[in-house]
Amino acid sequence: MDSISSPRLLQSKSYLKIVGIPYYVNNLNSCIFSNDIKYILKNNHIFNNIVLVSKPHIIKVYPKSDMAIIWIDIWDIQNGINAKKIINRYFNVGSIIATIREANINLRVPQCKNCWKWGHMVGVCHIQESKCAKCNGPHLTEHHHHFA
């Protein structure tokens, strides 16, 4: 029996940043990790139905600051409706109030055009083969419709 595929909306990425989250946890003993951020997002109702493209990227606001900016990329549809629902919303992280802001691709934080992860360039990428920017599959982006 042939399966009938349901129509799917074209996916794109939306770029967001979260401000107001401390860089250090446990009284300056250790810094926050991307898994901590994933846990926070997973357990907050604002992020229901939001799917991350890659792990969150954490940057200190200033070298001597104790606050972080969290860069997240989410899967969205082309009109950016998922991002629009959460931009400028506030949420609690313990006693801290964090804010979600719209962001452009952060030019100060390199994004590898090979594996599409943040924090390094193609020249230092440890992935041998290129990955698709749309689905992170093991094919070139221009071949996405053929393989996905």
| pLDDT tens track for 45-97 | 999 989 998 889 888 887 778 888 899 999 888 778 889 999 999 999 888 89
Whether 37 shows a pLDDT value over 90: the answer reads yes
Assigned domain for 28 exists:
yes
Q: Residues 7-15: what's their mean pLDDT?
A: 72
- Write out the residue range of the structural domain in which residue 23 sits: 11-106
Asked if residue 66 and residue 16 are part of one domain, the reply reads: yes
Asked if residue 82 and residue 130 are part of one domain, the reply reads: no
Q: Residues 5-25: what's their mean pLDDT?
A: 78
Assigned domain for 24 exists:
yes
Assigned domain for 2 exists:
no
User: Residue 35 CA to chain centroid, in angstroms?
Assistant: 12
Q: Residues 111-124: what's their mean pLDDT?
A: 75
Helices then strands, counting H and E runs in the chain, come out as: 3, 7
Asked if residue 127 and residue 71 are part of one domain, the reply reads: no
Asked if residue 95 and residue 40 are part of one domain, the reply reads: yes
Assigned domain for 5 exists:
no
Asked if residue 141 and residue 101 are part of one domain, the reply reads: no
As for how many domains the chain has, the answer is: 2
Asked if residue 73 and residue 56 are part of one domain, the reply reads: yes
Q: Which of 75, 61, 67, 62 is nearest to 16 (CA)?
A: 75
| Amino acid identity for residue 25 in this structure | V
| Tokens of residue 15, six digits | 């770029």
Asked if residue 94 and residue 48 are part of one domain, the reply reads: yes
CATH assignment of the domain containing 44:
3.30.70.330
**CA distances (Å), 122 to each of 6, 15, 100, 128, in order?**
36, 20, 29, 10
3-state secondary structure of 101: strand
Whole-number Å distance between alpha carbons of 45 and 6: 28
Cα angle 29-33-37, degrees, rounded to a multiple of 5? 120
